[in-house]
Structure 1
Amino acid sequence: MSHIQINDTTLRDGEQSAGIAFTVSEKVALATIMDAIGIPELEVGTPAMGGTEAQAITEMTRLGLRCSLLGWNRALRSDIEASIACGLKRVHISIPVSDIQIKAKFGGNCRFVGERLRDSIHFALDQGLYVSIGGEDSSRADESFLIDIALSAQDWGASRFRFCDTVGILDPVTTGQKVSKLVKALSIPVEMHTHNDFGLATANALAGLQAGATSVNTTVNGLGERAGNAATEEVVMALKRLYEIDLNLDTRRLRELSQLVAAASGHPVAPWKAIVGKNVFAHESGIHVHGVLQNPATYEPFAPEEVGIQRQLVVGKHSGRHTVSSLLQQHGITLTKEETQSVLDRVRNLSVEVKRGLTVEELLNLVSTH
């Protein structure tokens, strides 16, 4: 797992979330910050859509970014030509590999799938492009057919094969088994693409990497079709903290990136969202606050500064005296044990009444009216 790279698809699969549409300027801005953070590859959209999509992709190719830019394509010459017209040097070509997808899209003609893929790869290579191939619905494909298609793509000159859990039906154990077989069969890198329909996208992505995949698709805030994809911030920090694999990314800007994507998508981040939610380093429970004040590691898996967040002590129904005392001392107020308990009782009552934590101003007002 020492040579893993992130291929962020926020600007493609992330934007394909129902009801989300990024403007040209938003896509350019997001690509710019992801490049600054150090993400090595971005899947920037679907050039064949034309219009503002093609305009945004073209503008991104002219920015001189350090990261590689990849366009998503069907196995059609016209799609690849659209990618070239946008200035892209790398193309991802998607082809269905499960029986249900092949039946719906190609009338069940598996031979035609191979022919379309072969012709597309040859055309792209003739244009001097880097070619990545995606096995749509790999998780539900016949394993022999999946490996045959992947081996054929490799023989025809593809540089990477994407294993797609298109409808998010895998668990980590099954993911590891399937991806391990694919990795052993191929000499080109395998890339993970997981969806979150059962809440397992990040776990499955990590399982695929443990099984030998070396590239992983992610989206900021876990955006994506239906329940979304593996979240960029989750995969990056899990690799860094759980597996001690530092991808040399500026993780201090992950919260900033998350907020920019939230604004562009029109969907705020849930407070309890892993890694970047505002509650991740917020402590209200008296036992927790007491522990954190003694040693943050008691209730925090890593320092909030690592992802650009500040620790918060919240006063509310579950607070204890240590929380109240600490916050008041920050404002130059020191109370006796009895006075602190009296304020705490009022804090808890008001918190239940307003059904939320209290602001610092509300806390200070309770003290001044004590």
Structure 2
Amino acid sequence: MKPTLLDCTLRDGGNQNDWQFTATDVRTIVATLDAARVDVIEVGYRGGSGSKASATAGPSAHCTPEYLAALPDVSHAELAVMVVPTVCPVRAMDDLPDSPVSMVRVAAYPWNIDGVPEYVRAVRALGLKVGVNLMAVSYTTEEQLAEIAGIVAAEAPDVFYIADSFGALTPDDVRGRVELLAERLPTPLGIHAHNNLGLAAANALAGLDAGVTWLDASLCAMARGAGNLATEQAAAFLTAWPKYATHADLPLVCEAAEYVAEQVLPRPMTVRRAEIAAGINDHHFYFQDRIDKISARHGLDPWQVGRRVGAARPRKVLDETVEDVCRELAGATTGRTEETERTDGGDA
């Protein structure tokens, strides 16, 4: 089996450097990955990121016509952009057929997946390939995922991805979800794995075994928090493992990764307490700083607060969400203390 390898450094990696890739960075990354015969290179967002608003974001956060026109010519790879329907109107894609882009990926959460078929139809009408990325897949039950598959099947894309947005899934979780979708969707499946629990590669392989044929990755794992499956590692295990096949030129992929490590990354990708806490508690990494600060103010254990935040499956990263959880926990603690004092007093 030869999986399709998609590099999303210029899109997802922008969460690490505010999409401040220089023109040289963009040319070097695209040209080197194309020479390495990586299948698809995602060059950024059209219209902005849905989860990180930034007034200072660089060019790959918006993929203007001027940015796309300046991309180097490619001879092997297809070029893609991602759109988030909540920030990118359908009409904002109309110029893409005149650009080097041949694929649009539509990213949506389980709670706004209903709007995706409109975008799939619009992209198809432009004569472009279309993918759908289901973000926060860890927040779906089997029943919900089956319903989502039904919605997507009505306007089937060229590939449907599950995105482990919070890095919370295990290989067993991935297998179950992929097998469910494979039974219900007449379309290739993909996985976008985050590395909060150190399982990005293991989850990608579990997905491949269960029927996935597309893999997302980024050079040096560059993305928010703990990062993604690293492109160079994906190319390495696809090269080393006889059951898989790849056209990717591993030394050239590593060359691109070295460039990113030395010239682009503002700091090395790490998996430390904050990244692990977000993964084990199943919430967006951008919650973690809020959880740490607000928990300290309330005198509460941030791990306990994080578990409650993840269990609430919040739709947006807001201070109020953490404040509500802290007030609930503080109230419960006060109630238990008062009850203990009454009981102790009655026994005295």
TM-score class, shorter-chain normalisation, is: 0.5 to 0.7
1:25, CA displacement in angstroms?
A: 2.4
Structure 2 residue matching 1:7: 3-state secondary structure: strand
1:18, CA displacement in angstroms?
A: 4.9
The answer for the alignment partner of 2:306 in structure 1 is none
1:198, CA displacement in angstroms?
A: 1.4
Matched, 1:59 2:66: no
Partner Cα separation in structure 2 for residue 153 and residue 161 of structure 1: 8
1:268, CA displacement in angstroms?
A: 6.5
Structure 1 residue matching 2:41: 3-state secondary structure: strand
Matches within 5 A, 1:258-273: 258-267=257-266
1:13, CA displacement in angstroms?
A: 0.7
Structure 1 residue matching 2:106: 3-state secondary structure: strand
1:155, CA displacement in angstroms?
A: 2.5
- Of structures 1 and 2, the one with the larger relative CO (CA 8 A, separation 6+) is 2
After superposing on structure 2, the runs of 4+ consecutive aligned residues of structure 1 that deviate more than 6 Å are none
Matches within 5 A, 1:1-370: 2-18=1-17, 21-49=20-48, 52-53=59-60, 54=64, 55-60=66-71, 63-75=73-85, 76-81=89-94, 83-84=96-97, 86-97=99-110, 102=111, 113-114=113-114, 116-267=115-266
1:264, CA displacement in angstroms?
A: 3.2
Partner Cα separation in structure 2 for residue 252 and residue 64 of structure 1: 19
Partner Cα separation in structure 2 for residue 142 and residue 59 of structure 1: 43
Partner Cα separation in structure 2 for residue 188 and residue 68 of structure 1: 19
Structure 1 residue matching 2:195: 3-state secondary structure: coil
Counterpart contact for 2:81–2:101, Cα < 8 Å: yes
Residue type of the partner of 2:200? A
Counterpart contact for 1:47–1:57, Cα < 8 Å: no
Partner Cα separation in structure 1 for residue 98 and residue 143 of structure 2: 36
1:209, CA displacement in angstroms?
A: 1.0
CA RMSD between the two structures: 2.4
Partner Cα separation in structure 2 for residue 185 and residue 65 of structure 1: 35
1:184, CA displacement in angstroms?
A: 2.2
Structure 2 residue matching 1:48: 3-state secondary structure: coil
How many residues end up aligned between the 2 structures? 255
Show CA shifts across 1:222-261 (max 9, x none): 1111110001111221222245423022112233211111
Show CA shifts across 1:141-171 (max 9, x none): 1333323323332331411101110100011
Give the gaps of 5 or more residues in structure 2.
Answer: 49-56, 270-348
Show CA shifts across 1:167-193 (max 9, x none): 000111221122121122212000110
Structure 2 residue matching 1:88: 3-state secondary structure: coil
Structure 1 residue matching 2:47: 3-state secondary structure: helix
1:31, CA displacement in angstroms?
A: 0.5
Show CA shifts across 1:85-136 (max 9, x none): 6442210011111xxxx3xxxxxxx6xx41x212212222222121101111
Identical amino acids, percent of aligned pairs: 24
User: TM-score normalised to the size of structure 1?
Assistant: 0.63
Partner Cα separation in structure 2 for residue 8 and residue 153 of structure 1: 24
Partner Cα separation in structure 1 for residue 116 and residue 40 of structure 2: 23
